[in-house]
Every structure is written in C-alpha cells, then in structure tokens.
C-alpha cells in the first residue's frame, strides 16, 4: 500500500499507525490507538505488513468485536488484554422497554464524545454493554441516567457476548461469479462498474484486508466491508443454477 495514494482520514490513519510503530520501539513500551472500525483495521493491517512489523494485537473486549483497539509493542513484550485502555460499562433497564444501538450511541454522542472513543455497543433485553476509553469512564457514569426517556442504571452484570446473536438482514442473490465486484454489486445493489470503482479506490475489504483487485475470488464465510454501504457476510453452499449462476446468501449486519 502506498500511503501517499490514500487521501483524507485514511492517509492520516496510516501515518499515525506508522508513527506508533516507531514510538513503541523508541519508548520500549506498548502504544495504543483509539477504537478502529473494520475498514480502519484493514488499513492498519496493511501498514503493518508494509512495515514488516508483526508485534501487534487487536482487541475490542470480546472475540469477534467489530470495533477494536490496536496495540503495537516491542518484540520482547506481549501485553495482556486487560492492559488495553478501555472499560466495559453495563446499563440495566426494564426488559419491557425496547432500546436500540442507535439510542445508546446517540446518548453517548450527546455527551460530546467522538465515535473513536467508543467501541462496540451490544444490546440485549434489559441489559446493554458498551466499551469506552478508560479516561472517559467516570465522566460517562456521572452523566448517563437515561437513554431517551428510559431510566437506566450502571451494573456489574454484563451481556453474555458468546450467546448474543448478531442481527442480519438476509438477501438471496444470484451472481455470475464469486468475484468480489460481482458479489458487492449484488450485496449493495450497485452496478458492476460502481462496484469495481469502489474496490480499485481501496474502499472494500475482505476479512479485514483492503482488496484492490475486483477479480478477487470469495468463499463461504468471507466478511466484506464496503465503505459507505456496510458490512456483509457471504454464505455459499455450492449451489449453481442450470444457467451456471451462483446462488448466494448475503447477510448484512444491521
């Protein structure tokens, strides 16, 4: 990846990651980013590969978290997950009241927080767990008493992340091939040309790695992130129609 070819926030992020690697080596200590989304994670991985640097770890508080922090560290040191500078806060409220991810995010943003200091927000019935940078934990606890019009209270109990099922919007499609541009076109309801343009502009990632090749072949279970269009998981059981079309299921994360 050519950092100079990136633009805007993507370029700033790539430079920041590169600087963190140097800073970690200079200080002989681990260095952490803010929370990264999937596309930012993919850019960070590319920077690491370009720097030939392998001493790093991503962690978001639980396995398969969408938003994670990056830790880069000296080769003789491997930080524990507990050392990541964020906390899990848990809010309880009547299970009869339905609150959404958007409700919680809106309340946090209304406190003047930036999105990059907040990790995943996992909503269960009557209980929601979310991650926030440690330095802001006390402030958040002091400010939040309601989400919307629903009274909430902080608790020790947290969501069982292993049992929470992700909510997906399922779409059944037929595509001419399992090429990245073909699948993105079907998943995001875009023209093949637009899909190809997005990929070549570095706006698509497969399994947390930016892909620039529209011809890249996909497999069952691959995770696809498309800047501006969301995150998808591809399911393909090998079904092919008489006309040679592939029958796929695309699950879009809500």
> Is this prediction's pTM over 0.85?
no
Whole-number Cα distances in Å, 101 to 2, 61, 130, 162: 36, 17, 10, 18
Contact in structure between 195 and 202 (CB atoms under 8 Å): no
Structure tokens at 89: 């806060």
What are 244's two structure tokens? 């040679």
DSSP state string for 111-154: TT--GGGEEEEEEETTEEEEEEEHHHHHHHHHH-SEETTEE-EE
Please check whether residues 144 and 216 belong to one and the same domain: no
The answer to whether residue 54 is domain-embedded is yes
Asked if pLDDT for residue 6 goes beyond 80, the answer is no
Which pLDDT value is given to residue 204? 92
Q: What is the DSSP letter of 156?
A: S
Confidence of residue 4 (pLDDT cuts 50, 70, 90): low
C-beta atoms surrounding 129 within 10 Å: 24
- Based on the domain organization, do 12 and 70 belong to the same domain? yes
pLDDT digits (tens, 9 = 90+) for 105-145: 999 999 999 999 999 999 999 999 999 999 999 999 999 99
Examine the domain organization and report whether 121 and 62 are in the same domain.
no
pLDDT digits (tens, 9 = 90+) for 170-207: 889 899 999 999 999 999 999 999 999 999 988 899 98
CATH at residue 20: 3.30.1370.160
Given a contact cutoff of 8 angstroms between Cβ atoms, the answer to whether 128 and 122 are in contact is: yes
The domain of 144 spans 86-154
Residue 230's domain is classified under what CATH number? 3.10.290.10
Q: Is the pLDDT of residue 252 over 90?
A: no
Contacts with 56 (C-beta within 8 Å, 6 or more apart), sequence order? 48, 70, 71, 72, 73
Q: Cα–Cα distance between 109 and 115 in angstroms, integer?
A: 7
Q: Are 70 and 138 part of one and the same domain? A: no
- For residue 163, tell me if it sits in a domain: no
Mean per-residue pLDDT for 68-91?
A: 94
Give the C-alpha separation, 108 to 87, whole Å: 15
Distance in angstroms (rounded) separating the CA atoms of residues 165 and 211: 28
Provide the number of structural domains found in the chain. Answer: 3
């Amino acid at each position: 990846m050519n950092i100079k070819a990136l633009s805007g926030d993507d370029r700033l992020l790539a430079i920041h990651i590169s600087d963190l690697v140097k800073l970690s080596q200079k200080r002989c200590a681990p260095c952490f980013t803010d929370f990264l989304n999937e596309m930012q994670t993919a850019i960070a991985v590319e920077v690491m590969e370009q720097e030939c640097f392998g001493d790093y770890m991503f962690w978001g508080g639980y396995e398969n978290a969408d938003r994670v922090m990056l830790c880069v560290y000296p080769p003789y040191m491997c930080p524990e997950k507990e050392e990541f500078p964020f906390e899990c806060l848990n809010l309880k409220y009547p299970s009869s009241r339905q609150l959404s991810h958007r409700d919680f995010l809106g309340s946090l943003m209304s406190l003047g927080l930036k999105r990059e200091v907040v990790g995943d927000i996992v909503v269960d019935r009557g209980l929601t767990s979310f991650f926030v940078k440690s330095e802001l934990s006390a402030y958040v606890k002091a400010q939040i008493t309601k989400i919307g019009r629903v009274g909430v209270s902080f608790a020790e109990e947290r969501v069982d992340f292993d049992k929470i099922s992700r909510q997906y919007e399922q779409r059944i499609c037929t595509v001419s091939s399992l090429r990245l541009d073909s699948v993105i076109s079907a998943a995001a309801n875009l023209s093949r040309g637009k899909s190809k343009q997005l990929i070549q502009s570095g706006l698509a990632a497969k399994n947390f790695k930016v892909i620039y090749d529209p011809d890249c072949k996909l497999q069952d279970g691959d995770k696809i992130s498309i800047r501006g269009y969301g995150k998808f998981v591809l399911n393909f059981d090998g079904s092919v129609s008489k006309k040679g079309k592939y029958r796929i299921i695309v699950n879009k994360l809500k």
